[in-house]
């Protein structure tokens, strides 16, 4: 080969080596500070006074939100406990009410039976007394009926056989007979008709 071609190749090689060296030096001198800047931007700055680094506003908002949610959870737990206590109290009250209702129902049934017995006994007594008045002589019965309250006397006469009642009415004074007759006639006046 000719000398000028070799010199040209040598010169190109020297230029390439110089360019490559320049690139390595640039990378070496400029890459270090760039990497340091990148690392520093990722870690929070430590203030010169030695205090903890400042937390970003977003982190503070998240902490406030978390605290509010925890407080709300505690409030809900407290309310849930109150509701459970009220439910237990209501269950106890319901049970007591059911027991009292059962006792009242039983007492009502007992009272109903007692009233029925009393009604039967009263009816038996009235029937027996009516029979006694019917068996008496009309003149003797009339003297008793003369002294009775007209409503009371009318009640007995309404229960008697018609012929026994007629004998007693015949023995009464006209005023007593009239008063008892008015009571007997008006006993069913207020009963609704067809």
Question: Of 128, 186, 190, which Cα lies nearest the Cα of 159?
Answer: 128
The predicted structure's pLDDT at residue 51: 57
Taking residues 41-62, report their average pLDDT. Answer: 63
pLDDT recorded at residue 52: 54
pLDDT, mean over the chain:
83
Distances (CA, A) of 68 to 63, 75, 156, 170, 193: 9, 10, 87, 101, 78
Nearest to 141 by CA among 133, 129, 149: 133
Residue-level length of the chain: 194
Task: Express each pLDDT in 62-74 by its tens digit.
Answer: 888 889 999 999 9
Q: What is the pLDDT of residues 112-156, one digit of tens each?
A: 999 988 888 888 888 998 899 899 999 999 999 999 999 989 998
pLDDT at 98: 93
Better-scored residue on pLDDT, 162 or 39: 162
Copy the structure tokens of residue 89. Answer: 């109290």
More confident call, 100 vs 34: 100
Examine the pLDDT at 53 and tell me if it is beyond 70.
no
């Amino acid at each position: 080969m000719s000398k000028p071609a070799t010199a040209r190749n040598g010169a190109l090689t020297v230029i390439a080596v110089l360019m490559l060296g320049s690139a390595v030096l640039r990378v070496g001198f400029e890459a270090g500070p760039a990497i340091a800047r990148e690392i520093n931007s990722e870690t929070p700055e430590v203030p010169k006074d030695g205090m903890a680094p400042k937390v970003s506003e977003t982190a503070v908002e998240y902490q406030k939100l978390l605290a509010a949610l925890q407080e709300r959870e505690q409030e809900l737990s407290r309310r849930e406990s109150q509701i459970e206590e009220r439910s237990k109290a209501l269950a106890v009250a319901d049970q007591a009410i059911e027991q009292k209702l059962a006792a009242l129902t039983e007492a009502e049934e007992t009272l109903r039976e007692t009233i029925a017995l009393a009604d039967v006994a009263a009816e038996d007594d009235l029937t027996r007394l009516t029979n006694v008045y019917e068996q008496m002589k009309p003149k003797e019965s009339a003297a008793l009926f003369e002294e009775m309250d007209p409503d009371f006397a009318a009640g007995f006469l309404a229960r008697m056989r018609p012929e026994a009642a007629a004998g007693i009415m015949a023995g009464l004074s006209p005023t007593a007979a009239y008063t008892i007759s008015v009571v007997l006639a008006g006993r069913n006046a207020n009963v609704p008709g067809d």
